[in-house]
Amino acid sequence: MKRLKVSIIGSGSWGCAISKIVGKNVLKRNTFDKRVSMWVYEEIIEGRNLSEIINSTHENVKYLKGHKLPETVVATPDLVEAITDVDILIFVLPHQFLKRCLDTLEGKIKSTAVAISLIKGFQTSVDGDIELISKYITSRLKIQCSVLMGANIANEVANEVFCEGTIGCATKEMKQTFKELFETNYFRVAVVDDTQTVEACGALKNIVACAAGFSDGLLYGNCTKTAIIRIGLMEIKMFINTFLSGSEISTFFESCGISDLFASCYGGRNRKCSALFVEKGKSIYDLEKEILNGQRLQGPSTAEAVNIMLMKKGLEKKFPLFTAVHRIFNFEISPRKLLDHI
Amino acid sequence: MKRLKVSIIGSGSWGCAISKIVGKNVLKRNTFDKRVSMWVYEEIIEGRNLSEIINSTHENVKYLKGHKLPETVVATPDLVEAITDVDILIFVLPHQFLKRCLDTLEGKIKSTAVAISLIKGFQTSVDGDIELISKYITSRLKIQCSVLMGANIANEVANEVFCEGTIGCATKEMKQTFKELFETNYFRVAVVDDTQTVEACGALKNIVACAAGFSDGLLYGNCTKTAIIRIGLMEIKMFINTFLSGSEISTFFESCGISDLFASCYGGRNRKCSALFVEKGKSIYDLEKEILNGQRLQGPSTAEAVNIMLMKKGLEKKFPLFTAVHRIFNFEISPRKLLDHI
């Protein structure tokens, strides 16, 4: 049997953290080719190309300093070279670069290849509707796309501390292969069929994390906060049942569900910035500039995109928490009124 | 129709907090008699009987200072007087006083009465097995017993901040009545049939809160911690399916499930003392003396009782987290080995 070639599209902190796992796992089984290509968006670091630094020092000095990547992982700035003859494409690049990346890849992918997306968030379609990133990849490349989500942060995974992930597997025959590719003793992976729920949870939880942040900013207690989070989870479930293909309730018990949700509601920057939004009374745009160096928070933009979909269908009242979060960021209602609205 | 007489058995902080709700709700509907008796374990406070203080000042100065109880709530130190001709008995006294209370009540309860227990924790039967408190009340008084659980702390409910509760209703015809008795605009109550799951979650979550406390004491990140909590939730579910009547998965999405679990794993004294257990290396018995003024923590004792049941059935390995928590408190394994065991 021909060994499966794997490529990692992206080399940020999460891409490099996952390359530590993938680069070692390909050596453990005969299933995989022992060379993993990694596409690097080329940057010049102290006069040298980042891809060359990675290939000589096996360290991404810019995005995951202090961690050795396995020597099986070979960086290249040439996207087409990275994916040539590849069987498994791991998409792990920032969401805003995806479209351009797919423009380049379209028509150049092996027809039997499969993809797996580690990108959290939604794509917005031309008519303003939310689209799952896995669907978008499938529509552009004409290959099936699974997802890997869960409560896992690049640094924790890179440090090899115990955590979990959930694969929503779109290709039945790949279940075992994906598990072999991503699981280690410190990163435990469950594989489920319910791909859309796995992926949607990873995006929608950010709205709930903002509500949890408001709760913290308002100094509400833990019982109020968990009530808000629970109501948020019910809206996540209802959203998936209304706008996507429906959900298996058991999927919410996986890492992609309650773990990722609560981790984001007790840690994470959506929570933090939303608490500051309440405390400081500044716009979220100003807070993004001040605290995140201009990087965008996912919660407010997801709440906005979701709100557009809810408005179109006249469903705002059925999703009071999602709606309130959006309206609070827009200064239409005061955070103090959050509880009146849910 | 005759109005239903309500009695609150217990007047600690949770009993008084709930009496604020119940005492007002009986005025809103013709369903209820407008006098609610509250049994008070008599104590002398600055030379006066606590029951007399409550009846004259409408404040429990010892257990819920600063909160006015409704005038409909009438305290009595006479347990039999408190329950005479009563239709709804609300049990909300410390777990260790229950047996003696039931000794007094046995044979004196109206045969058509129903009970609802707000007591969290398990009863241990003569042969060392865990028994649900609602079952124990039913077996002693020969009346049906529902439960009210959830992420709610006496002080938060007394302060009338928003939180939620879950009623596991053992008496079908009482669903609406219980909702009318306990729900307010700030305390939102869901009623489900799955009584045993509602009650068992309230006890078993304390074991998981200890594991979460170890995680905090060991300075693990949020992703590791939520993975531990998620694994704990799966053991709660498996325990209920193995030792009790089985569970509806939807019950775990109520306040009694994930909300109470995560609130206890991020706040609460089981978490706190377990973190200190790791940091200070002292026995949990010493920490209870130091921090809780000798009061017992529920987590370690529940873990012990559960362990006895698991050992009897040879199921310790199927419940690695529950087992590890018990063995860690017993100094049989180091907290640092927690992750190796789950």
Query: C-alpha distances in angstroms, B246 versus B20, B41, B177, B260?
Result: 34, 36, 26, 19
**Interchain contact, A260 vs B188, CB within 8 Å:** no
Check if the beta carbon of residue B263 is closer than 8 Å to that of residue A226: yes
| Residues 6+ positions from A158 with CB-CB distance below 8 Å | A13, A16, A17, A20, A64, A67
pLDDT tens string B304-326: 999 999 999 999 999 999 999 99
| Residues 6+ positions from A251 with CB-CB distance below 8 Å | A166, A168, A192, A194, A197, A198, A201, A257
Q: Which residue out of A148, A152, A230 would a mutagenesis test of the B interface target, given it has the greatest number of B Cβ atoms within 10 Å?
A: A230
- A5, A20, A205, A237: the catalytic one is A205
Q: Which residue out of A197, A222, A238, A266 would a mutagenesis test of the B interface target, given it has the greatest number of B Cβ atoms within 10 Å?
A: A222
**Whether residue A205 lies in the annotated active site:** yes
Q: Which residue in the set A163, A221, A249 is minimally distant from B227, CB to CB?
A: A163
Dihedral (CA of A163, A169, A175, A178) sign: negative
Tell the residue number behind the tokens 């809206």, with chain if given.
A235
Eight-class DSSP state of A184: -
* Distance of alpha carbon A306 from alpha carbon A272, whole angstroms: 21
For residue B97, say whether it is annotated as part of any ligand binding site. yes
For residue A298, say whether it is annotated as part of any ligand binding site. yes
* Distance of alpha carbon A12 from alpha carbon B5, whole angstroms: 66
Which positions in chain B touch A230 (Cβ < 8 Å)? 164, 253-255, 258-259
pLDDT tens string A126-164: 777 889 999 999 999 999 999 999 998 888 899 999 999
Our CA-based measurement puts residue B240 at a distance from the nearest CA of chain A, in whole angstroms, of 16
* Distance of alpha carbon A258 from alpha carbon A18, whole angstroms: 22
Which positions in chain B touch A267 (Cβ < 8 Å)? 221-222
pLDDT tens string B116-154: 999 988 888 777 788 999 999 999 999 999 999 999 888
Eight-class DSSP state of A47: T
- The string of DSSP letters for B266-303 reads HSSHHHHHHHHHHHH---HHHHHHHHSTTPPPHHHHHH
Q: Report the DSSP pairing between strands A163-168 and A145-149.
A: antiparallel
Residues of chain A whose C-beta is under 8 A from some C-beta in B? Answer: 151-153, 156, 161-164, 188, 220-227, 229-230, 233-234, 249-250, 252-255, 258-260, 262-263, 266-268, 339
In which band, very low, low, confident or very high, does the pLDDT at A274 lie, cut at 50, 70 and 90?
A: very high
* Distance of alpha carbon B89 from alpha carbon B239, whole angstroms: 29
Average pLDDT over residues B232-257: 95
**Interchain contact, B227 vs A259, CB within 8 Å:** yes
For residue A271, say whether it is annotated as part of any ligand binding site. no
Which positions in chain B touch A253 (Cβ < 8 Å)? 230, 233-234, 249, 252
pTM for this predicted structure? 0.93
Nearest to B188 by CA among A68, A226, A139, A196: A226
Interface pTM (ipTM) of the complex?
A: 0.92
For residue A314, say whether it is annotated as part of any ligand binding site. no
pLDDT tens string B43-87: 999 999 999 999 999 999 999 999 999 999 999 999 999 999 999
Which alpha helices (H) appear in A73-129, and where do they start and end? 79-83, 98-105
Whether residue B341 has pLDDT greater than 90: no
**Torsions phi, psi of B287, nearest 5?**
-65, -40
